Each structure stands twice: as C-alpha cells, then as structure tokens.
Amino acid sequence: MNIKKDTLALRASGLCASFDGIEVISDLTFDVREGELLAILGPSGCGKTTSLRLIAGFELATAGSLTIGGESVIESNNFRPPEKRGVGMVFQDYALFPHMTVLENIEYGLQGIEGQHQMTAQALAMTNLTNFGDRRVHELSGGEQQRVALARAIAPQPKLLLLDEPFSNLDPSLRSRVREELHDIVRQTGITTILVTHDQEEALSIADRVAFMTSGKIVQIGSPEEIYLQPASIDVAVFIGETNVLYGVVSNSSVDTPLGTFAASDNGSIAAVLVRPEHLVLSKIGIPATVTHREYYGHDQILRVQLDDTTLVRVRIDSRTHHLPGDRVMISLSEAPLVLAASG
Ligand code: ATP
C-alpha cells in the first residue's frame, strides 16, 4: 500500500503530559499520513515512550487533542479508552505471556471478537508464524518472540500500529534482519505505523519520515535525507550521525574556520560549521594534516586527523586506503558544509 498523502491517520495537537507535576511532554504536535511509517527518534528520557502511551491511551494528557483515523480520542471533555482507539502496540519487552502458546497469546486479545480464528490465522501467516501456533513463547528466540508480539498487535486489524523500541532486546547481529522482516510486514499490511527508537540508523533506514524529539518536544520532522543533510540544530546533527563541528565569529557575512571560509548570517554572532566525516576527502591539494588514529570498520574507515593549527577532525574514507598514525595527508571538502547559528 502506498502512503496516502492527503489522508491523515493521526493528528496530535499541543499534547502535554506530566508525572508528579513535572511536564515531560510539551506541545507535542505532528501528523501521520495513512500508510506512513513515522519514526520518533530522540535521546533517552526525551519522552518517546510516554508519547506512544498517550496515543495508545495508557497515559492521560494534561492538554491538547488527538485524532486517530479522523475520530477524536483526546479532547478537553473526551478521553477514549485504549480498547476503543483501534491501536495495536508492540511493547519494548513484548509483554507476552511466556507459558501460553503463540496461538493463545494472539487470541487473548481477540476474545469476543467475531472471526477471531481467521484473524489469528491471518496474523500468523503475515508474520511467518503459521507453524509456530502451538509453541510456547518461552521456547522461542528473541526474534520469534518479537514476531509474536507483532502478530498479536496486528491481529485485530488496528488502524494504527505503535512500536516501542522493537529491536532493542535483540542481538545486534539479528537486528538488521528482524528490522527488514518487520519493515516488509508493515509494508504488506499497509498499516500506518509509529516507531520509537533512540537508534538513528534504525530510524533513517526504515522510516518514511523521522520526527526528532528532545525534552518532550518534536524539534524537526522530515524525510530521512532532510533530517540527515539539513538538521535544524546542532543537537539534531550530532545525534543523527557523526559530525565535525567548528565554531567561528561571523564577520562580513562569513565565518572563518580551519577548514575554510563559509557564508554565514548575523555578523558578530557565533556560527557553527557542520561537516560530516564523509564530506571530507583525502586530496592532492588541500589542508595539510597529520593522521592521529585510524578506526577500521571493514566497509569503510575513519581517520582522526589533526590540522596544523591543532584542530582535530574525523574523515571517513574507503577501507582500502592505508594510512597510519603520523602520516601527513591533505584534506578537502567534497560538499559545502551546513552553517548554523551556534545557539541552535
Ligand atoms: P528511553 O529511550 O530511555 O526509553 P524515552 O524517550 O522513551 O526514554 P520516557 O520513558 O517517555 O522517555 O520518559 C520521559 C520522562 O518521563 C523521563 O524523564 C522519565 O523519567 C519520566 N517518566 C516516564 N514514566 C514515568 C512514570 N511512570 N513516573 C514518573 N516519571 C516518569
């Protein structure tokens, strides 16, 4: 199913939430389009799980409104309970009943619903668990348990699927495969999905759009490319991938840094020049530097180099070029850097 650009699956407007009088969600405002996979990305404690719980109806909002599928579920005089929101949720720890079978776990949430056996069979087929129905959950691997949690969430055919850090309990070697499987299932069902994660690779690789959250607010929302290449602030840039940050005072509408002089606004203010390591290259003519460390990753490598004025920068290059600490190199920029106000 394709994303329906004009059909809103969810609209959150000015949602706030507090614990013990301390506001942890402030003015949460965003839309999700039908069929879209939106990732909410942000550092630990920024309010991602609480946002999902507000949407699911497990927490109360102190202000704001929420519509799901065009129907109001939170408004000043209206709170629709979780079971009436048409939302499926996969919890971080899966929250399965370990001694029940896969089938029993899925059917538990379908009691009293007409066609529950067919719904269960469909959910098992979609998650490639058809032959696992009689297995007990505690006998399954982490990846299989995650699929059971997903099957249970999608079995009632919800309008919206909420995934809370769905890969965090998995071994890193399993993660990319399980992520791919989950992405395929979500795509096949066409279900609108909100995924929360603190892993930027996860967000960038599977989301249609990424919402970056910090201190209870969404500070930027956009395609993975927009978020990575045009971060709205230094915080977003640094969280979302490696970045060299160089500061300078703006004068004559430009900022002077050891990597060059770049256009900037607000004469007299401090500007931050952001350069991704992969936007620096080794070249025949360029800025002289000395390699201080080499981090080899197989698919590529990072050289830590010191410019002659002592500034340290990180340069990502292919893994075949061989340089050792102490080697003299020249570096230059392959792309214009992003220049932001240092307070941003
Ligand atoms: P993480 O990535 O570590 O899971 P998060 O971004 O999901 O973090 P939340 O779990 O939503 O963040 O927490 C947001 C803030 O609310 C944190 O400061 C947390 O300590 C606080 N908080 C969350 N749940 C409760 C609760 N039940 N009682 C009191 N404070 C809470």
CATH number for the domain harbouring residue 50: 3.40.50.300
Return the best residue to mutate from 16, 23, 46 for the ligand 1 pocket (most ligand atoms within 8 A of CB): 46
| Residues in CB range of 156: below 8 A, 6 or more apart | 88, 109, 110, 113, 119
Per the model's pLDDT, the better-predicted residue between 260 and 143 turns out to be 260
Q: Is 183 helix (H, G, I), strand (E, B) or coil?
A: helix
- The three-state secondary structure class of 157 is coil
- Ligand 1 atom with the smallest distance to the CA of 51 is 11
pTM recorded for the entire structure: 0.90
Say how many Å lie between the CA of residue 122 and the centre of ligand 1: 35
Pocket of ligand 1 (CB under 6 A): 19-20, 24, 42, 44-50, 198
Q: Do residues 226 and 268 both lie within one domain?
A: no
Atom of ligand 1 at shortest range from CA of 198: 2
**Residue the block writes with tokens 């704001």:** 64
Q: Are residues 144 and 276 in the same domain?
A: no
Structure tokens at 52: 């999902």
Other Cβ atoms less than 10 A from the Cβ of 341: the count is: 15
List pLDDT tens digits, range 142-198. 888 988 999 999 999 999 999 999 888 777 777 888 888 888 888 888 999 999 999
- For residues 1 and 92, what is the distance between their CA atoms, to the nearest angstrom? 26
**How far, in Å, is the centroid of ligand 1 from the Cα of 16?**
14
Q: How far is the CA of 184 from the centre of ligand 1 (A)?
A: 30
Parent domain of 307: 244-341
Say yes or no: 154 and 226 in one domain. yes
Clarify whether residues 25 and 103 are in a common domain.
yes
Give the model's pLDDT for residue 54.
96
CATH number at residue 282: 2.40.50.140
Out of 75-89, 180-194, 204-218, the most confident range is: 204-218
Once rounded to an integer, what is the mean pLDDT over residues 16-44? 95
Token reading at 269: 């203010």
Instruction: Please report the pLDDT score of residue 5 as a whole number.
Output: 65
147 and 72 assigned to the same domain: yes
Q: Which of these three, 232, 267, 282, is where a domain ends?
A: 232
226 with 144, same domain: the answer is: yes
Look at residue 344 and tell me whether its pLDDT is greater than 70. no
C-alpha 153, offset from chain centre = 20
State the pLDDT confidence band at 116, using cuts at 50, 70 and 90: confident
Q: Report the residue among 24, 41, 202 best suited for mutation to probe ligand 1: largest number of ligand atoms under 8 A from its CB.
A: 24
* pLDDT (0 to 100) of residue 146: 87
pLDDT in tens, 43-72: 999 999 999 999 999 999 999 999 999 999
Q: Report which listed range, 85-99, 168-182, 274-288, is most confident.
A: 274-288
Mutate to test the pocket of ligand 1, among 16, 19, 167, 202 (most ligand atoms within 8 A of CB): 19
Q: How far apart are the first and last CA of the chain?
A: 38
For ligand 1, the distance from its centroid to the CA atom of residue 55, given in whole angstroms, is 15
Q: Does some domain include residue 239?
A: no
In terms of DSSP H, where are the helices of the chain?
Answer: 48-56, 102-108, 116-126, 142-154, 172-189, 200-206, 224-229, 234-240
The alpha carbon of 49 and the centre of ligand 1 are apart by a number of angstroms equal to 7
Tell me, yes or no, whether 169 lies in a domain: yes
Ligand 1 atom nearest the C-alpha of 196 is 7
- Cα–Cα distance measured from residue 237 to residue 74, given in angstroms and rounded to the nearest whole number: 33
* Number of folded domains that form the chain: 2
C-alpha distances out from residue 115 to 82, 107, 147, 155, 301, Å = 21, 11, 21, 11, 54
**What residues form DSSP beta bridges with 2?**
none
